[in-house]
Structure 1
Amino acid sequence: MNVEGRDTAWNEAVRDIIEAGRRMDQRGWVPATAGNLSRKLPDGRIAITRSGGHKGFLNADGVIEIDAEGRPLIEGQRASAETLLHTQLYAHDPKIGAVLHGHSIPGTVLSLDEPGPSIELAGYELLKVFEGQSTHETSVSVPLFDNDQDIARLATVVASSLGKMPAGYLIRGHGVYVWGPDMPTALARLEGLEFLLACVLKRRKL
């Protein structure tokens, strides 16, 4: 989808976000107005979903441009309340090119059910989808952070774990955050994490 008057890089970022939103919606990971998606452009600009829209029915108007601090560049536009959690990741690692946040049933239920500080994933072949993993004979920890409506305060809590979360993280009763160097990789990691969380939930039920 091209937006008249916008450059090719912007239009590609918008297209990536729209397609990712539809894919996540098809899998039930962004119900109602839940979730948010962003993509960094090669020149450092950030495209992110506008606050409040359904991610399965996005169009170009549902994606806005923000600066590195999360401020919309067009007056009157409003980014997601959780924009800071996206910009935090981009600032931490310049190689990150896309960030995805979804609200799946397995992620939400497990984040409330697990009393510990993380969910451990071990022995699964699909662990190899995450950065730095080359075998199923390993264990990956997915940190759990308590939900907080004060996003700046939540970002401060998350900060201490940056660089140590190859599979992303979970916010209790809320959802997952996953990222990658580009949108296809971020989507693959999100699908991998959601599959593994579903496996953990299924095993606990058994």
Structure 2
Amino acid sequence: MNDLSQQRRELMTALHAMAEADLSPGASGNMSLRLPNGGMLISASGVRGNEATLESLVEISSEGTCTPGQAKPSSEWLMHHQVYQDHPEAAAIVHCHSPFATVLACQRRAIPSFHYMVAVAGGVDIPCADYATFGSAELAENVSLALHRRKACLLANHGQLCIAQTINKALSLAQEVEALAANYYFSLQNGGPTLLSNGEMEKVLQQFRHYGQQ
């Protein structure tokens, strides 16, 4: 097996951080990193984030094959694989069942432009991917489509998924999406928010190109 010690440590640490932030209950969340050889490193099936070890991370080739002798990969490995195939800008993926994002996903709601920070996910809204059975090729395709020109999406009746250039950025984005989902949920309880126009959101997106420490 290739020497992936640094990537394994990064992914293990991020899984612990996801659990500490209560972004996904039990063993429901999963994460991955794109590898230099075109494959990926993904969390194992059924392992709680706070219990992840270096051995509970699984290498999968660019062809979607798993080296024998490893742990069983996450049931959502095909979704991660599809996203990496279709989105060359993605180097890390966080998928979790954070509470408020999951509530909206179960209502099959996208998160519209109710707040300018929605632009952190790359567009004027955060879409909701069509429902399909977890672990299926259909779900993988639905999520990949929902991520067109976006860095995050909800998954109908399921949760949320974020992509970024590093695992820490993907995790931070998942936390942003969860906070936005909570704000949107509560705004719906009091008559609903006033949405920003697409024109205003385009201005925000232009500003976001220089946002933070680039």
Q: TM-score, normalization: structure 1?
A: 0.82
Counterpart contact for 2:121–2:152, Cα < 8 Å: no
Does residue 28 of the first structure (1) align with residue 28 of the second (2)?
Answer: no
- Distance, in Å, in 1 between the alignment partners of 2:187 and 2:14 is 29
Q: Residue 75 of structure 1: CA displacement?
A: 3.8
Per-residue CA deviations over 1:113-140 (Å, capped at 9, x if unaligned) read 24xxx41331424234333x6xxxxx31
Counterpart contact for 1:140–1:167, Cα < 8 Å: no
Q: TM-score, normalization: structure 2?
A: 0.79
Does residue 65 of the first structure (1) align with residue 59 of the second (2)?
Answer: yes
CA 1:204 to 1:31, structure 2 compared with 1: closer, same or farther past 3 Å? Answer: same
Per-residue CA deviations over 1:87-131 (Å, capped at 9, x if unaligned) read 1111112231101100111012111224xxx41331424234333
Instruction: Name which of 102, 109, 125 aligns with 1:140.
Output: 125
Does residue 182 of the first structure (1) align with residue 166 of the second (2)?
Answer: yes
Q: Residue 25 of structure 1: CA displacement?
A: 1.0
The amino acid of 1:144's aligned partner reads A
* Moved beyond 4 Å, runs of 4+: none
Q: Which runs of 5+ in 2 are unaligned?
A: 191-214
Instruction: Name which of 157, 160, 172 aligns with 1:173.
Output: 157
The amino acid of 1:143's aligned partner reads C
- Distance, in Å, in 2 between the alignment partners of 1:162 and 1:193 is 14
Counterpart contact for 1:145–1:170, Cα < 8 Å: no
| Map of 2:115 onto structure 1 | 124
The amino acid of 1:185's aligned partner reads K
Instruction: Name which of 171, 177, 187 aligns with 1:193.
Output: 177
Q: Which SS does the other structure have where 2:187 is aligned?
A: helix
The amino acid of 2:43's aligned partner reads T
Structure with a larger share of its residues in strand: 1
Q: Residue 150 of structure 1: CA displacement?
A: 5.6
Counterpart contact for 2:129–2:143, Cα < 8 Å: no
Alignment of 1:62-141 (within 5 A): 62-75=56-69, 77-114=71-108, 118-131=109-122, 139-141=124-126
- How many residue pairs get aligned? The number is 190
CA 1:101 to 1:201, structure 2 compared with 1: closer, same or farther past 3 Å? Answer: same
| Map of 1:13 onto structure 2 | 7
Q: Which runs of 5+ in 1 are unaligned?
A: 134-138
Q: Residue 51 of structure 1: CA displacement?
A: 0.7
